Amino acid sequence: MQRSLLLFLMLVCATASAQVYKRIGADGKIYFSDQPGADAREVDVAPAQAVSLPPVPRQTGAAQPQNDAGASYTAFTVVSPTSDQGVRANDGNVTVSLSLQPELMPGHTVMLNVDGEDGGQTKSSGGLIIELNNLSRGRHSVEATVVDAEGNALIQAGPVSFNVLRVAVGGR
């Protein structure tokens, strides 16, 4: 069986460089063949193009995280609250959720700036969910920055503005 397959493949490869003939059938369709016929015309076929690709580097072992000098984050966004969202938080506690691709690398920190330069900064060295406590009623903004161990900004998300909705006591 293997010899038959090998013989077949050799014949196919040998005919790959054979001449091609074209004819128009009685039904008006065009037919191509490697056999000349009475009404067939020889067709010149250009040689096949060959493309050389550079070799793909092989990875050995598990992928290692990049160091600070080669850190490359591709996406960083504030997932919630969304822009102009009204957040019902009678206690003033608001959860900020962030998305970072790839994940936070060792030695890097997420800095969350609340309400611009006048607001406080919150640090998170592990998670991308940060709880803000006792925000006053009204409009606030958050922006997040990933910084390395030396404090260099690597990528930034936001700013995103949102409204904290709290119950007013005493008709204020």
The pLDDT tens digits for 149-163 are: 888 888 888 889 999
Instruction: Answer with the residue of higher pLDDT: 39 or 9.
Output: 39
Q: What is the distance of C-alpha 8 from the center of its chain?
A: 45
Whether 41 has a pLDDT exceeding 80, the answer reads yes
pTM: 0.54
Whether residue 19 contacts residue 33, with contact meaning beta carbons closer than 8 Å, is answered with no
Q: Are strands 85-88 and 153-165 parallel, antiparallel or unpaired?
A: parallel
Q: What's the pLDDT score for residue 89?
A: 85
Cis peptide before 102 (omega within 30 of 0): yes
**% residues pLDDT > 90 (the chain):** 1
Picking from 83, 172, 169, 98, the residue whose alpha carbon sits closest to that of residue 132 is 98
Parse the chain into domains and list their residue ranges.
Answer: 2-43, 72-165
- Alpha helices for 16-123 (secondary structure H): none
Average of per-residue pLDDT across 5-13: 55
Q: What is the tally of helices (H) and strands (E) in the chain?
A: 1, 11
**Sign (positive/negative) of CA torsion 16, 22, 26, 28?**
positive
Instruction: List pLDDT tens digits, range 101-141.
Output: 888 888 888 888 888 754 456 666 567 888 888 888 899 99
Q: CATH for 72-165, among 1.10.287.70, 2.60.40.10, 3.30.300.20, 1.10.3720.10? A: 2.60.40.10
Whether 167 has a pLDDT exceeding 70, the answer reads yes
